[in-house]
């Protein structure tokens, strides 16, 4: 019985490690509220970012998004776009056939309300307002929330990267590398801890096996003396 336990030891040590890797691969990325770019290039596409993270991930929520636009020579906002129940509607005629949804696909977990403008023109320069209407649905009541994000977009003939954009990209890569390093350290730590526990179990099994063998030898010697 003891030799069987000893041979199965390494395989048992690899099982928790494999489960850890599978669990890590199933994890979903966390929601991060990143500011939208503020510089668009004429005649190209441009994504207007608007992210509103749901703070209570375990609570079911329903959400809708509305966009508003105010040109540089205007004083009031006009309704630009509406997204609700997985259906988007372009309201401002200046953006007909040029505007599309670029955010989350599920209304009950809507956190990204970004839109995309095709064939940007200089007339698209101005201020954009994104409003998230979210209702957290608890067991006894509903809790409505409103999140507003405002951004000023400037249309230029050629793209020039600003310092904020470069820093944001650098921080993104640093975060990704840091998370990967942390996961690697956790996997190594767990593997070593399991290895030490397995070695102790193997030593105990070996000692038990030797004790049984020694006892059996002593019993055989006693029987021979008695004969």
Domain boundaries, the chain: 2-25+180-226, 39-159
Q: Which tops the pLDDT comparison, 51 or 6? A: 51
* Alpha carbon distance 110, 103 (integer Å): 8
* pLDDT band (50, 70, 90) for residue 127: very high
pLDDT digits (tens, 9 = 90+) for 23-80: 443 444 467 776 677 888 999 999 999 988 877 666 788 889 999 999 988 999 999 9
Of 162, 151, 165, 141, the closest CA to residue 113 belongs to 151
Instruction: Find the length of the chain.
Output: 227
pLDDT at 203 (0 to 100): 75
Pick among 3.90.550.10, 3.20.20.70, 2.60.40.10, 2.40.40.20: CATH of 39-159: 2.60.40.10
With beta carbons less than 8 A apart as the criterion, state whether 122 and 140 touch.
no
The pTM of this model reads 0.57
Provide the token pair at 62.
């329903």
């Amino acid at each position: 019985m003891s030799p069987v336990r000893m041979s199965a030891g390494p395989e048992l040590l690899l099982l928790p490690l494999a489960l850890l890797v599978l669990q890590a691969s199933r994890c979903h990325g966390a929601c991060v509220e990143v500011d939208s770019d503020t510089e668009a290039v004429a005649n190209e596409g441009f994504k207007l970012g608007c992210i509103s993270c749901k703070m209570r991930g375990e609570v079911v929520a329903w959400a809708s998004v509305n966009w508003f636009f105010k040109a540089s020579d205007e004083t009031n906002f006009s309704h630009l776009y509406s997204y609700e129940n997985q259906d988007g509607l372009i309201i401002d005629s200046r953006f007909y056939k040029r505007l599309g949804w670029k955010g989350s696909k599920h209304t009950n977990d809507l956190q990204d309300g970004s839109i995309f403008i095709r064939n940007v023109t200089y007339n698209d320069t101005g201020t954009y307002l994104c409003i998230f209407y979210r209702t957290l649905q608890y067991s006894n009541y509903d809790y409505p929330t409103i999140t507003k994000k405002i951004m000023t977009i400037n249309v230029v003939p050629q793209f020039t990267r600003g310092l904020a954009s470069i820093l944001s990209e650098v921080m993104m890569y640093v975060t990704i590398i840091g998370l990967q390093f942390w996961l690697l350290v956790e996997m190594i730590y767990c593997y070593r801890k399991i290895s030490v526990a397995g070695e102790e179990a193997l030593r105990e099994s070996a000692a038990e096996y030797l004790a049984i063998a020694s006892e059996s030898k002593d019993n055989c010697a006693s029987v021979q003396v008695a004969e």
